[in-house]
Structure 1
Amino acid sequence: MSKNVFEIDKTNAKVEFNIIGDAFNPDIVTQKLKINPTEVWIKGEQIKGKDLYRKYTLWSISTEYEESLDINYQLKAILSVLTPKTCELLELKNTLDIEYRFCVVININNNENPAMYIDTGTIRFLNEITAEIDFDLYIYS
């Protein structure tokens, strides 16, 4: 994905694409999509350093945090990887009990609010694969 390029005091963002389910084999997703995940969790695994356990299985790819005043740059980076895999994503959704969720994480600094809109092409793709989108905003100054 992209490089981790930003100044800590600047507004920055990253986008994750998460496949979430109660119990599925993440290796099946990796093999089907031919994409190596950024992160994988298995339901029931202990969260490192905590007395907590994962409540679901996750397969995820993400950008790094980048200085950004328009989330569409990060969204397009993820979509450029996923859009050619639409058929595979639909097949996985039909065979596994999974959900698709995009998560946009924005750290706002110096009151520099990024553009937060979803273009029609992205909306079409989200609809086609039946994906949700989640926005996490962290305002620091």
Structure 2
Amino acid sequence: MDKTHTYTYFGIESNGQIDSRGLVGNKRGIFNPDDITNVLGIQPIRCWKKGDKRRNDTEYLFSSWDAEKSDIGRLDVEAQVLDTIKNLKNKISILNDIKEQYDVNYVIMVVQSIYGDESPLIGFNEDIIEFCYLTGTTINFDTYIYQDEEEASQRIN
């Protein structure tokens, strides 16, 4: 399996409503990502606050903070999620404090690019389920399926 790949990360995002502009964060859900970085002591892989500019020059209407990306080259989703949450498991009370202060959602994102019949192993053990339960974290999948590399390059372009 040398083409199929998966990565995971943990995200914090303003709770809000979807309208014609996309996600619009609730007033209490707007946060400064620097505050999250400081309180958790973890550097994000990507973040923005409401009002920051997107590449297309429109403004984000919600705040977001993503960290703890695991792309350790495994196709074992459970192992990658465990790697993603390893530095967060001892911060459950802090995460709950953040959720109490702000109207936010927590997510573990699983991003997969699957080629042909190569497929990742997907499963979640008790440690993952417990972390998600204690923090109110959901698990979302963003999956891309390609017959071959040519189809993948056509979709990307």
TM bucket (normalised to shorter chain) is 0.7 to 0.9
Q: Work out whether residues 12 and 66 of structure 1, in 8 Å CA contact, stay in contact via their aligned partners in 2.
A: no
Q: After the TM superposition, which parts of structure 1 deviate over 6 Å for at least 4 consecutive aligned residues?
A: none
Alpha-carbon distance in structure 1 between the residues aligned to 2:102 and 2:145: 37
**Corresponding residue SS for 2:54:** coil
Determine whether 1:19 maps to 2:12: yes
Alpha-carbon distance in structure 2 between the residues aligned to 1:52 and 1:64: 30
- Structure with the bigger RCO (C-alpha within 8 Å, sep 6+) is 1
Shift of 1:65: 3.8
Match of 2:106 in 1: 100
Q: Summarize deviations over 1:13-43 as a string: whole Å, max 9, x none.
A: 1112110013111111111111111111122
**Paired amino acid for 1:104:** V
Determine whether 1:35 maps to 2:42: yes
Shift of 1:51: 4.6
Q: Work out whether residues 9 and 70 of structure 2, in 8 Å CA contact, stay in contact via their aligned partners in 1.
A: no
Match of 1:70 in 2: 76
Q: Work out whether residues 114 and 144 of structure 2, in 8 Å CA contact, stay in contact via their aligned partners in 1.
A: yes
Cα 1:80–1:104 change in 2 (3 A) is same
TM-score (norm 1): 0.85
TM-score (norm 2): 0.77
* Structure 2 unmatched ranges of 5 or more: 15-24, 148-157
Shift of 1:113: 1.0
* Structure 1 unmatched ranges of 5 or more: 1-6
Percent of counterpart pairs with the same letter? 30
Determine whether 1:126 maps to 2:132: yes
Determine whether 1:79 maps to 2:90: no
Q: Work out whether residues 24 and 97 of structure 1, in 8 Å CA contact, stay in contact via their aligned partners in 2.
A: no
Q: Work out whether residues 12 and 69 of structure 1, in 8 Å CA contact, stay in contact via their aligned partners in 2.
A: yes
